């Protein structure tokens, strides 16, 4: 999806890189679109199965604090807070070493948790 979106952006810049010099203020729309596509990938996968492709490989799943599948509000909040958790030197992620339940800050605030699935 990112490739298709970028291809569309390149059409409007006549094949030039999407930079402020080639796309003007539209570069910010392009960047926002990329962020939105990535956020939708995470939210949709968490809603559908609780797992992204990488989480399947590591046998992890996102669930609500009660153990149920996550709701849209919790998944969207987790995506936004997860991105912010990495921004200041990953302090929101490193929070899990201080948390009594070993939850990262975005998990604590979105009332979700990552669980390890049993081996089959």
DSSP bridge pairs for 113: 63
Closest among 115, 120, 118, 119 to 60, alpha carbons compared = 115
Paired strand residues for 63: 113
Domain locations in the chain? 1-48, 51-120
Q: Which residues pair with 62 in a beta bridge?
A: 114
Structure tokens at 68: 């149920």
Tokens of 40: 């939708």
pLDDT in tens, 65-96: 999 999 999 999 999 999 999 988 999 999 99
**What DSSP string describes 30-82?**
HHHHHHHHHHHHHHHHHHHTS--HHHHHTTEEEEETTSSPPPHHHHHHHHHHH
- Is 0.85 topped by the overall pTM? yes
3-53: pLDDT as tens digits: 999 999 888 888 888 888 888 888 999 999 999 999 999 999 999 999 999
d(CA 26, CA 114): 37
> What is the residue-averaged pLDDT of the chain?
93
């Amino acid at each position: 999806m990112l490739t298709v979106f970028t291809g569309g952006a390149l059409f409007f810049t006549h094949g030039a890189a999407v930079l402020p010099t080639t796309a003007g203020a539209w570069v910010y729309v392009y960047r926002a679109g990329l962020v939105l596509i990535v956020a939708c990938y995470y939210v949709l996968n968490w809603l559908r199965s609780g797992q992204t492709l990488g989480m399947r490989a590591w046998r992890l799943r996102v669930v609500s604090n009660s153990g149920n599948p996550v709701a849209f509000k919790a998944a969207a909040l987790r995506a936004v807070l997860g991105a912010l958790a990495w921004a200041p030197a990953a302090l929101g992620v490193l929070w899990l070493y201080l948390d009594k339940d070993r939850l990262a800050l975005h998990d604590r605030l979105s009332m979700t948790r990552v669980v390890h699935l049993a081996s089959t």
